[in-house]
């Protein structure tokens, strides 16, 4: 089997790149082990333009969001599955000071179209919010597990996905191309998420992965027109189910849910939810964060057939659409990558390794 691209990993990184290639008529094969605990599968797919901690616009938010909406809408059509929601995010204020800060930030040039105030959050029968709330406009929510499952099904049916672990020792260099098992490709793109540290070709890239745990709750009849935030996100999934997340743990990098994280999440929830709920599920995943908190894209320093697409950290659903195009254009037409994301910035680590 001869193709243009072999892609390792079909989380949102590998899937977005595959979809770009599909749209432009380039041939590809994905190799992936189905992992229900992959970062993409536990994510709520929230594209939030505002950083809560500092109350400023998130990195490249305007440009990333425009491309995300375009991308997921066309994927939705192609897969014939509803994937995109446009629910405002309501920040439930913890104090009068937080409210004042929000009010002052509403006049910032970059936030003027993004933030408004609300004296009462809409559903005060359900939410305890004596200080009111602020609304973030322009957020998107992507049904990430549904997207990945639908794309996977289609790729399997058309013979474009091989479900098995990719063993790096099976990769061979043949003339200008690579060969893995029966597949010969012009290029291979590694999109393995946080397990990049097991990749002998790219393990020199500085990653700082972070584990996150989430809980799925059932809350009867709570209005589901908003995503709520108070220290954590409470996001409606439909059918009275809510996604509650998430925690940050840099030390224990496994995909096992823990009692401590569950307690932390429920304690924060009990601080503002007034009504009864039941816990339906509890999951953990690992965010593939780069140490400088910028994506990792580009070509291997010595093997020109090898590329990487990783380092999405906490924002995979927002980053993947814009940068999948940028990477594809770089590979196909040699158009330059944004310096901030190009792995050229880390080549010194490769050379230090000898």
Ligand X SMILES: Cc1cc2nc3c(=O)[nH]c(=O)nc-3n(C[C@H](O)[C@H](O)[C@H](O)COP(=O)(O)OP(=O)(O)OC[C@H]3O[C@@H](n4cnc5c(N)ncnc54)[C@H](O)[C@@H]3O)c2cc1C
Binding site for ligand X (CB under 6 A): 8-14, 31-33, 35, 38-40, 42-47, 165-166, 191-193, 195, 212, 214, 245-246, 285, 287-288, 310, 312-318
Number of Cβ atoms within 10 Å of the Cβ of 105: 18
| Inter-CA distances, 330 with 165, 230, 308, Å | 27, 40, 12
Smallest gap from Cβ 270 to ligand X, in A, equals 20
Smallest separation (angstroms) from ligand X to the CB of 215: 10
| Contact between 57 and 49 (Cβ < 8 Å) | yes
Least distance (Å) between residue 115 CB and ligand X:
19
Q: Which two three-digit tokens encode residue 7?
A: 């892609």
Q: Find the shortest distance in angstroms from Cβ 165 to ligand X.
A: 4
**CB closer to ligand X out of 72 and 132:** 72
Q: Which is nearer to ligand X, 11 or 49 (CB)?
A: 11
Nearest to ligand X of 132, 217 (CB atom): 217
By C-beta, is 138 or 288 nearer to ligand X? 288
Contact status, residue 165 vs residue 32, Cβ threshold 8 Å: no
User: What is the enclosing helix (H) or strand (E) of 128?
Assistant: none
Min dist. Cβ of residue 202 to ligand X (A): 12
Residue where the block lists tokens 């509803």: 82
**Which residue sits closest to ligand X, CB atoms considered?**
11
C-beta of 43 vs 132, nearer to ligand X: 43
User: What CA dihedral angle connects 120, 122, 125 and 130, to 10 degrees?
Assistant: -20
User: Would you call the peptide bond into 240 cis, given omega within 30 degrees of 0 as the criterion?
Assistant: no
Nearer to ligand X, 127 or 162 (CB): 162
Q: What is the DSSP string of 26-54?
A: --EEEEE---TTSHHHH---EE-SEETTT
DSSP 3-state of 247 = coil
Answer for the pair 179, 262: CB distance below 8 angstroms, yes or no. no
Strand 28-32 relative to strand 161-163: parallel, antiparallel, unpaired? parallel
- The two tokens of residue 294 are 């910028």
Least Å distance, CB 167 to ligand X, is 7
Nearer to ligand X, 236 or 288 (CB): 288
């Amino acid at each position: 089997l001869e193709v243009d691209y072999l892609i390792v990993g079909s989380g949102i990184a590998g899937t977005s790149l595959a979809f770009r290639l599909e749209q432009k008529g380039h041939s590809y094969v994905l190799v992936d082990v189905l992992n229900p605990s992959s970062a993409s599968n536990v994510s709520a797919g929230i594209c939030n333009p505002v950083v809560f901690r500092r109350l400023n616009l998130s990195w490249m938010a305007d440009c990333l969001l425009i491309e995300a909406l375009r991308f997921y809408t066309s994927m939705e059509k192609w897969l014939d599955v509803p994937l995109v929601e446009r629910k405002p995010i309501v920040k439930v204020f913890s104090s009068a000071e937080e409210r004042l800060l929000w009010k002052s930030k509403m006049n910032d040039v970059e936030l003027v179209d993004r933030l408004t105030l609300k004296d009462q959050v809409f559903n005060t029968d359900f939410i305890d919010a004596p200080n009111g709330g602020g609304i973030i406009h322009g957020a998107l929510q992507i049904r990430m597990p549904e997207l990945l499952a639908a794309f996977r099904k289609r790729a399997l049916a058309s013979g474009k996905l091989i479900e098995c672990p990719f063993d790096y020792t099976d990769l061979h260099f043949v003339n200008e191309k690579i060969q893995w098992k029966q597949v010969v490709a012009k290029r291979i793109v590694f999109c393995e998420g946080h397990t990049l540290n097991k990749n002998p070709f790219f393990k020199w890239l500085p990653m700082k992965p972070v584990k996150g745990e989430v809980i799925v709750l059932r809350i009867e009849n709570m209005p589901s027109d908003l995503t709520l935030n108070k220290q954590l996100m409470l996001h409606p999934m439909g059918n009275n189910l809510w996604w509650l997340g998430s925690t940050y743990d840099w030390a224990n990098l496994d995909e096992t849910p823990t009692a401590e994280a569950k307690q932390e999440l429920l304690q924060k929830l009990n601080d503002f939810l007034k009504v009864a709920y039941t816990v339906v599920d509890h999951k953990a995943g690992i965010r593939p964060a780069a140490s400088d908190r910028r994506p990792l894209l580009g070509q291997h320093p010595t093997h020109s057939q090898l590329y990487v697409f990783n380092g999405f950290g906490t924002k995979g659903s927002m980053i993947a659409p814009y940068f999948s195009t940028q990477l594809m254009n770089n590979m196909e037409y040699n158009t330059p990558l944004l310096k901030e994301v190009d792995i050229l910035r880390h080549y010194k680590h490769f050379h230090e390794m000898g």
